[in-house]
């Protein structure tokens, strides 16, 4: 199969925030080459962020498409009050959560079931966290908004104020989400490790 | 970020992930580090979190749409521009659908879910081209030609192709039609029935 996009083909580039902001200005003026550069710089992390929650490459591709179409349309609204990456992930977060609300029966509240056993075996967790399959399974059991917070922290190395801005919630909410996510993750990993050993 | 010199154990625990990803700074970082030093459980959890982070960053390969997704975006942007300028009535051309179908095929390469989408061009030594080129496959299996609705999404098209068990063997033509192949006459009849029940997604030609 051959599909060529000719001049649109660009090498993957790692651009700094100032470069991305400059590209957004050009995109706002209708510069498609700038849009291509911008896409190449951010499409992989954006796709990973979406796909990790969707578990469906087709739906993920559609949402990613919508994210970048929105960027094309609203690039001129970026005011530089956050980093470009935070702004873009904010759009991706909103579209992903909208998709969950419309198409999937998922609990998007911050409520967490209280459990008596609150101190998982950290040594077992450490061992289990080295097993990619365990980790993936346990991440998959988190609510989407908790999983987003953990992924933005671990994949993108973002600060909690940045994650709060992306999710559109107070910083304290993000701290609480990652706190509960950490507990659930460690508990899940510990249980899986003990199950393996049993 | 809040600056906390005398941090509670619970607050330190709430920030532990951000010590693991190395984004804490100043007094806040010092306070969490002190809490970790004073608590073996927190120290063990921090070690587990750091391992998780490394593991995730190492393992999570992203099979993103890449250049193909960009081409799809450019097509839609061009289509928007054209529509805005000309206000052409009626149906759009099949060009937009082409990128959606091609996206389905590309995504199928790394998706077991859509592994049935294969192209047989290599059998006769000819590269199959989805872009309007020479038809690469000559087949005696029953085929049908159709045009996908320009508003159909990739996931809708992928689901439909999975359901019908048809294989794209050629297209799009100059007017946007695709040729799809069924395994046998029974499969053809079944696929036809399914496709005819989805006029919102396809226009069957023959």
Q: Which residues in chain B are closer than 8 Å to A2, comparing Cβ atoms?
A: 127, 129-131, 133
Phi and psi torsions of B152, nearest 5°: -70, 140
pLDDT class of B83 with cuts at 50, 70, 90: low
Interface test mutation site (partner B, options A61, A70, A74, A161, max chain B beta carbons within 10 A): A61
In this prediction the pTM is 0.62
**Contact call for B23 and A153, based on CB within 8 A:** yes
- Predicted local confidence at residue A177, as pLDDT: 93
Q: Which residues in chain A are closer than 8 Å to B129, comparing Cβ atoms?
A: 1-2
Percent of chain B with pLDDT over 90: 18
Strands B202-204 and B143-148: antiparallel
Min mean pLDDT across A21-35, A57-71, B117-131 is at B117-131
Task: Tell me the Cα Rg of chain A.
Answer: 19
**Contact call for B66 and A160, based on CB within 8 A:** no
Phi-psi region of B149 (alpha: psi -120 to 50; beta: other; left: phi over 0): beta
Closest CA to B130 of B170, B95, B100, B93: B170
Phi and psi torsions of A111, nearest 5°: -70, 140
pLDDT class of B104 with cuts at 50, 70, 90: low
3 state DSSP class of B167: strand
Q: Which residues in chain B are closer than 8 Å to A68, comparing Cβ atoms?
A: 69, 73
B172 preceded by a cis bond (ω within 30 of 0): yes
Q: Is the pLDDT of residue B111 over 70?
A: no
Residue-wise pLDDT for B184-203, tens only, equals 888 888 888 888 888 777 77
Between residues A150 and A9, the one the model is more confident about: A150
Min mean pLDDT across A48-62, A80-94, B120-134, B185-199 is at B120-134
Interface test mutation site (partner A, options B64, B76, B201, max chain A beta carbons within 10 A): B64
Q: Which residues in chain B are closer than 8 Å to A160, comparing Cβ atoms?
A: 1, 15, 18, 23
3 state DSSP class of B145: strand
Q: What is the mean pLDDT of chain B?
A: 71
Residue-wise pLDDT for B136-191, tens only, equals 444 578 888 777 776 777 667 777 777 787 777 776 665 666 778 888 888 888 88
- Predicted local confidence at residue A92, as pLDDT: 95
Phi-psi region of A136 (alpha: psi -120 to 50; beta: other; left: phi over 0): alpha
Q: What torsion do the CA atoms of A47, A49, A54, A56 make, to the nearest 10 degrees? A: 30
> What residue in A sits closest to B152 (Cα-Cα)?
A62
Mean pLDDT within A71-81? 93
Q: Give the number of other CB atoms < 10 A from CB of residue B71.
A: 22
């Amino acid at each position: 199969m051959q599909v060529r996009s000719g001049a649109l083909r660009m090498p993957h580039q790692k651009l700094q925030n100032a470069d991305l902001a400059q590209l957004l200005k050009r995109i706002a003026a209708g510069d498609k080459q700038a849009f291509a550069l911008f896409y190449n710089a951010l499409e992989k992390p954006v796709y990973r962020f979406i796909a990790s929650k969707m578990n469906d490459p087709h739906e993920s591709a559609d949402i990613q498409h919508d994210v970048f179409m929105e960027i094309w349309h609203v690039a001129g609204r970026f005011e530089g009050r956050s980093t470009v990456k935070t702004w873009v992930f904010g759009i991706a977060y909103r579209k992903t959560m909208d998709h969950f609300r419309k198409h999937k029966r998922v609990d998007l509240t911050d409520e967490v079931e209280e459990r008596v056993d609150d101190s998982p075996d950290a040594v077992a967790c450490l061992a289990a966290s080295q097993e990619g399959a365990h980790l993936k399974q346990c991440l998959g059991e988190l609510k989407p908004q908790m999983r987003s917070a953990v992924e933005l922290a671990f994949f993108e190395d973002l600060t909690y104020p940045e994650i709060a801005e992306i999710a559109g919630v107070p910083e304290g909410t993000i701290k609480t989400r990652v706190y509960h996510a950490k507990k659930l993750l460690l508990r899940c990993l510990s249980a899986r490790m003990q199950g393996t050993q049993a | 970020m809040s600056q906390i010199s005398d941090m509670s154990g619970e607050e330190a625990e709430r920030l532990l992930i951000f010590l693991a990803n190395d984004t804490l700074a100043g007094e806040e970082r010092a306070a969490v580090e002190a809490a970790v030093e004073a608590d073996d459980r927190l120290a063990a959890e921090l070690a587990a979190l750091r391992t998780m982070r490394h593991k995730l960053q190492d393992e999570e390969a992203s099979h993103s749409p890449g250049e193909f997704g960009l081409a799809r975006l450019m097509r839609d942007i061009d289509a928007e521009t054209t529509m805005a300028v000309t206000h052409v009535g009626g149906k759009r051309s099949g060009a937009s659908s082409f990128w959606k179908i091609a996206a389905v095929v590309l995504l199928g390469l790394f998706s077991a879910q859509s592994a049935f989408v294969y192209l047989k061009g290599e059998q006769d030594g000819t590269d199959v081209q989805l872009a309007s080129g020479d038809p690469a496959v000559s087949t005696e299996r029953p085929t049908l030609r159709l045009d996908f609705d320009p508003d159909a999404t990739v996931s809708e098209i992928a689901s439909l192709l999975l359901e019908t068990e048809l294989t794209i063997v050629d297209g799009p033509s100059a007017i946007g039609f695709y040729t799809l192949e069924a395994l046998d006459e029974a499969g053809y009849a079944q696929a036809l029935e399914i496709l005819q029940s989805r006029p919102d997604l396809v226009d069957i030609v023959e």
